[in-house]
Chains A and B, each alone.
Chain A
Amino acid sequence: MMEKIIFGRYLPSDSVVHQMDPRAKLLFIFIFVGIVFLANNVVTYALLGAFTFLIVFLSKVKLRFLIGGLKPVLLLVLFTFFLHVFFTKEGDVLTQFGFLTIYKGGVIKGIFISLRFLLLIFVTSLLTLTTPPISVTDGIESLFGPLKKIKVPVHELALMMSISLRFIPTLLDETDKIMKAQMARGADFSSGSISDRVKAIIPLLIPLFVSAFKRAEELAVAMEARGYKGGEGRTKYRILRWSMRDTMAMLFLVVLSAALFILRS
């Protein structure tokens, strides 16, 4: 069941998106997250959607796979959708059952917001799917490098991030293993009332925490034993290179932002 979660996984390939500089990808996403909020009508959403699918196509990640990975967040998307449908009071009244009145504006807004959500999830999942975690943190460290001047522990933060990213799959595997062990002892994670299910999680959470703490300690010891002492004077094995392709992507994004500005109502 853990196999379905795609967030934080890396899918090796040799696509254009894979070969981009992680800094470019990070900047790209940072800006993209901003301009998604510019869209407010059918044309602009269509433009954003087309753009997103273009990236997906370029990344050679199968769309079916991306959509499959949406399942865990689908509930959240549906929740926001219905929240808007029920609580936005704009435009003509569509139907009315009992105390609930559904307005046309609400439905439209619900669709737009869900779309916005989906686009964001697509693009951010693509970042981790096309970039090895270690490159992501290299990129972050390099982008935030200037902050070192004002004593922000950029290297340490980047390290923390790469360690947590690195251990996502490990933790998922471990969850799966402990879940199976408890299921073999008759634990039931998938039926019963909500309070039953919450209680059923305890036999899973406690062993997970115990092993996570143990692992953290072991990792710290292993790092110290190999002479790790922070970012000071540490050289890089992987050197980031900004290429033409990255500049192109940025330019493309500028064009898209301009188009959104013009076309939004």
Chain B
Amino acid sequence: MDIKLQDVEYRYAAGTPFERPAIADVSFHIPSGQYVAIIGHTGSGKSTVLQHLNVLLKPLKGEIEIGSRTIAAGRKEKNLKEIRRRVGIVFQFPEHQLFEETVEKDICFGPMNFGVTENDAKKRALEAVRLVGLPEDILKKSPFDLSGGQMRRVAIAGVLAMKPDVLVLDEPTAGLDPRGRQDIMNMFTGLQKTNGLTCVLVTHSMEDAARYADKIVIMHKGRVHRTGTPRDIFRDADSLTSVGLDIPETVRFQQLFEKRLGRPLEKVCLTPEELAAEIGKLRGEIS
């Protein structure tokens, strides 16, 4: 399912003395089946953009195309349920949204709100729990007895069980240990590759953006600073540092390496593995 934003503008507390601008003139395209990363500094408007993707916020100007629906400014929108089912959002620290007595009930909450029968929801809960790498017996436990990392996975399972077409992730790995971080990120890519899920990742981590994304959107002060493929974006380090962002470690290493070498490598490498392979090709030359 495609999502297109066209000149979207939003202000918080519009019409009160507390009004403050959040985003303006935001236009970009999330093509179906792609992995899009939205990066930017704290307060750059990433989270505001994200809440527009399933119409938790309605634009004050501009419009958003979500699949076949168009949400335009100034119109009353009804029947948003279908959009909410198809665009699942995993918010930052999603473990804060757990509330049921058992993990199973909590995971079933989403699907059952969208009209899935209890039996089917339970099946989905089991599937989702396996997907996020938790043991099955956790289903009968209280979510409040779990560790932080497990709670996070349960909350993510709760969104996956809705079987969305687009999965929006707001810093899904913040506060997890490196191992859990990698597991979860790999699980999302797996879903994107095998099930054709569209992924939108909001992140601070340039490494994650470089490794996983097909397309990167850089937000700065509520506006889109740049969009492009990771290779395009990270080739131009100055443009990134001008908005207070870093380049991934790998790219930084490559730049230093190229300086020593005296010439650029064939391509911008996004992961350590890629860079190692690229440097490996030079083995004959520098000995």
Contacts and interface: CB of A to CB of B under 8 A. Distances in A.
Interface of A: 3-4, 9, 11, 61-62, 65, 68, 174, 177-178, 180-188, 202-203, 205-207, 210-211
A186 B56 contact: no
B84 A207 contact: no
B54 A184 contact: yes
Contacts of B144: 210
Contact of A181 (B12, B94, B113): B94
Q: Which 5 A-B pairs have the closest CB atoms?
A: A186-B113, A206-B99, A185-B110, A181-B97, A3-B13
A186 B114 contact: yes
Interface in B6-38: 12-13, 15-18
Contacts of A207: 96-99
28 contacts: A4-B16, A9-B18, A11-B17, A62-B17, A65-B17, A68-B16, A177-B91, A177-B96, A178-B96, A180-B56, A181-B89, A181-B91, A181-B94, A184-B56, A184-B91, A184-B159, A185-B97, A185-B113, A185-B159, A186-B81, A186-B113, A186-B162, A187-B109, A188-B81, A203-B99, A207-B97, A210-B144, A211-B96
A205 B89 CA distance: 20
Given A177-B96, A210-B144, A184 B84 contact: yes
B158 interface: yes
A211 B100 CA distance: 15
Contacts of B12: 3
B15 A68 contact: yes
A182 B159 CA distance: 10
Contacts, number: 69
Nearest to A206: B99
A210 B96 CA distance: 8
B51 interface: yes
Given A11-B17, A65-B16, A65-B17, A183 B99 contact: no
Interface of B: 12-13, 15-18, 51, 54, 56, 81, 84-85, 88-89, 91, 94, 96-99, 109-110, 113-114, 144, 158-159, 162
Given A3-B18, A68-B16, A203-B109, A186 B85 contact: yes
Contacts of B97: 178, 181-182, 185, 203, 207
Nearest to B161: A185
B229 to A, nearest CB: 29
Contact of B89 (A65, A178, A184, A203): A184
A169 B13 CA distance: 14
Q: Which among B16, B54, B91, B110 has the greatest number of chain A C-beta atoms within 10 A?
A: B16
Contacts of B88: 184
A170 B101 CA distance: 26
A249 to B, nearest CB: 24
Contacts of B158: 185
A188 B79 CA distance: 11
Contact of A183 (B16, B84, B114): B84
A183 B110 CA distance: 9
Contacts of A210: 96, 144
Given A3-B18, A68-B16, A207-B98, A180 B91 contact: yes
Nearest to B93: A177
B223 to A, nearest CB: 23
Contacts of B56: 180, 183-184
Contacts of A183: 56, 84
Contacts of A11: 17
A110 B189 CA distance: 64
A188 B17 CA distance: 29
Nearest to A204: B99
A43 to B, nearest CB: 34
Contacts of B81: 186, 188
Contacts of B85: 186
Nearest to B110: A185
A249 B21 CA distance: 38
A235 to B, nearest CB: 34
B113 A187 contact: yes
Nearest to B94: A181
Nearest to A129: B17
Contact of A180 (B13, B18, B51): B51
